Amino acid sequence: MADAAPVVAILDPVTASSDPAIDKLGFDEALAELQRTVAELEAGGQPLERALALHERGAALLEHCNRLLTDADLRVRQLVAVAGKGLQAVDVKPDEAQETPESGAS
Q: Give the number of C-alpha atoms closer than 13 A to the C-alpha of residue 18, restricted to the C-beta side.
A: 14
Q: What is the value of pTM for the model shown?
A: 0.60
- Dump pLDDT digits (tens) for 56-99: 999 999 999 999 999 998 888 777 654 446 656 666 665 555 54
CA distance 73 to 51: 32
Domain range summary for the chain, segments of one domain joined by + = 13-96
CA–CA separation, 60 and 14 (whole Å): 12
Kindly report the number of other CB atoms within 10 A of residue 67's CB atom.
13
Inform me whether the pLDDT recorded for 51 exceeds 70: yes
